[in-house]
Amino acid sequence: MRLRFAPSPTGYLHVGGLRTALYNYLLAKKSEGTLVLRIEDTDQNRLVKNAETNLIDMLKWSGIQFDEGPHVDGGYGPYRQSERLNIYKNYYLKIIESGHAYPCFYTAERLKDLESGAITSEEATMEDEIFQEFNYEDIINRMEKEKFVVRLKMPKNKIINHNDLVKGSVKFDLNLINDPILIKSDGFPTYHFANVVDDYLMGITHVVRGEEWLPSIPKHIALYQAFGWNAPQFAHLPLLLNDDKSKLSKRKNDVSVEIYKEKGFVSEALINFLALLGWHEKGDRELYTIDDLIKYFSLERVNKSGAIFDVKKLNSFNSHYIKNMDIKRLSILIKESTPYEWNINEEMINLVKDKAESIKDFKKLLSIFFEAIKFDEHQLQTIKQEINQNILLNFVEQYNKSSSLKDVAKKTQEKTNCKPKEFWSTIRIALTGQSHGPSLDSILNIYGQDKVLKLINNAIQKNYN
């Protein structure tokens, strides 16, 4: 198998794009095939500065590796479409010469009307039929002097039966399809032309992409037939959906891979989650490493219908992978998102990681070790109560005699006649400023005796402020 992922550098990497890249990667790895990264930058008006770098960075972060692309020449380059214009020119001249395509000559005013919408695409197609009959030598000379677009002459009175690897059998009536533009007036190819030429020249055997491209199939098949080329096999993946089953959009969900990274999601969780949006093997298993996915993934198990993007499930996946992550790697990720001056150690991380749904959560979870405690009004009133002040005073006395929290708790409760709940609640507030949290025994071990006594005495002093 030779597969490709071909994003456009017109913005961020969409989570749907990452799923498409993932499915291509899994198929390539499973078949011991080749995965190609191709940059589709022919829409020059929509290019975004640094978008290509961002795309490649996010793909690298996700763990998807490419065998060929702008970074690794596999003999099929260039891998940026903007660097292949001479190749496209050679092939659009061939298809014009064979009579399967025709140039349409546009004045500056007509181009302006098309861009502004004064002339619709439908109207332009019908008007351009006058260019279908031509003398090749004459139009070649004319193309050197005038502005033009190139259109594909779609076959008529024909049905295309497309056998999709996901959608199954799909029929297209070519009488209902207008002659598409192949080459724009700026000399750059449209998506349709560049994709077909590049997929053929790069030896792509399987095209796996989103179902929004399914309506393009008749145009692409017609192009392959016009060139006399065998078409690759196609698989069109189901849409990603919001909770209300509308198409996933940034109005209702974050859709940028970079945003999920910035929010503290780890790549393993996002990849596992996206893999299950449209695919599932038999059974109810949900947790998969990348090696598991390579082993079990198949197009036969990809659903035809759309998949709901359930953020709650993504959060649970993220929590699982954080809890089970190698502590060395987790430490690195946490230190990247917490204050530089915090001297975080593995003992602290192990103590709080079960409470984290995101890497970003660690800043709050670890703050008890590094930030001054600020009591809210309710906590202040709790600490100032006579029984709780007695608990604190006796805690200091007993803690100076024994570092065993169990012994200190027992003797303090005996001397103050307090309930266990009163003891633990008071000490936790005094030491952490929180009503709930990790094991106090572990917190005391991390704090050390000096810090414990300092915090308890600070809480005692609140009674005199």
Within a domain: residue 320? yes
Give residue 46's pLDDT. 80
Q: Categorize the per-residue pLDDT at 465 as very low, low, confident or very high, splitting at 50, 70 and 90.
A: low
Please identify every residue annotated as catalytic: 250
pLDDT at 118 over 90: no
pLDDT tens digit sequence for 15-67: 999 999 999 999 999 999 999 999 999 887 787 888 899 999 999 999 999 99
Distance CA(299)–CA(278), nearest Å, equals 10
Q: Are residues 390 and 449 in the same domain?
A: yes
- If you average pLDDT over residues 225-245, what whole number do you get? 95
Within a domain: residue 445? yes
pTM given for the model: 0.91
What CATH number does the domain containing 277 carry?
1.10.1160.10
- If you average pLDDT over residues 443-460, what whole number do you get? 94
Within a domain: residue 301? yes
Q: Are residues 348 and 394 in the same domain?
A: no
Q: Are residues 336 and 410 in the same domain?
A: no
Within a domain: residue 424? yes
Q: Categorize the per-residue pLDDT at 114 as very low, low, confident or very high, splitting at 50, 70 and 90.
A: confident
- If you average pLDDT over residues 266-294, what whole number do you get? 95
Give residue 11's pLDDT. 84
Give residue 117's pLDDT. 75
Last residue of a domain, which of 319, 350, 368?
368
Instruction: Print the SS3 string covering the chain.
Output: CEEEECCCCCCCCEHHHHHHHHHHHHHHHHCCCEEEECECCCCHHHCCCCHHHHHHHHHHHHCCCCCEECCECCCCCCCEHHHCHHHHHHHHHHHHHCCCEEEEECCHHHHHHHHHCCCCHHHHHHHHHHHCCCCHHHHHHHHCCCCEEEEECCCCCCEEEEEECCCEEEEEEHHHCCCCEEECCCCCECHHHHHHHHHHHCCCCEEEEEHHHHHHHHHHHHHHHHHCCCCCEEEEECCEECCCCCECCCCCCCCEHHHHHHCCCCHHHHHHHHHCCCECCCCCCCCCCHHHHHHHCCHHHECCCCEECCHHHHHHHHHHHHHCCCHHHHHHHHHHCCCCCCCCCHHHHHHHHHHCCCCCHHHHHCHHHCCCCCCCHHHHHHHHCHHHHHHHHHHHHHHCCCCCHHHHHHHHHHHHCCCHHHHHHHHHHHHHCCCCCCCHHHHHHHHCHHHHHHHHHHHHHHHHC
Q: Are residues 362 and 274 in the same domain?
A: yes
Domain ranges, residue 403:
372-464
Give residue 152's pLDDT. 96
Q: Are residues 398 and 364 in the same domain?
A: no
Q: Are residues 363 and 395 in the same domain?
A: no
As a whole number, the mean pLDDT across the chain is: 93
pLDDT tens digit sequence for 240-273: 999 888 899 876 678 999 999 999 999 999 999 9
Q: Are residues 328 and 418 in the same domain?
A: no
Q: Are residues 336 and 422 in the same domain?
A: no
pLDDT at 123 over 70: yes
Q: Are residues 397 and 295 in the same domain?
A: no
Q: Are residues 264 and 358 in the same domain?
A: yes
Within a domain: residue 251? no
Q: Are residues 322 and 392 in the same domain?
A: no
Last residue of a domain, which of 368, 400, 429?
368
What CATH number does the domain containing 437 carry?
1.10.10.350
Give the total number of structural domains in the chain.
2
Within a domain: residue 288? yes
pLDDT tens digit sequence for 183-192: 998 899 999 9
pLDDT at 357 over 80: yes
Last residue of a domain, which of 368, 383, 417?
368
Give residue 42's pLDDT. 85
Q: Categorize the per-residue pLDDT at 443 as very low, low, confident or very high, splitting at 50, 70 and 90.
A: very high
Within a domain: residue 356? yes
Within a domain: residue 343? yes
Residue with tokens 């990667």: 25
Give residue 252's pLDDT. 67
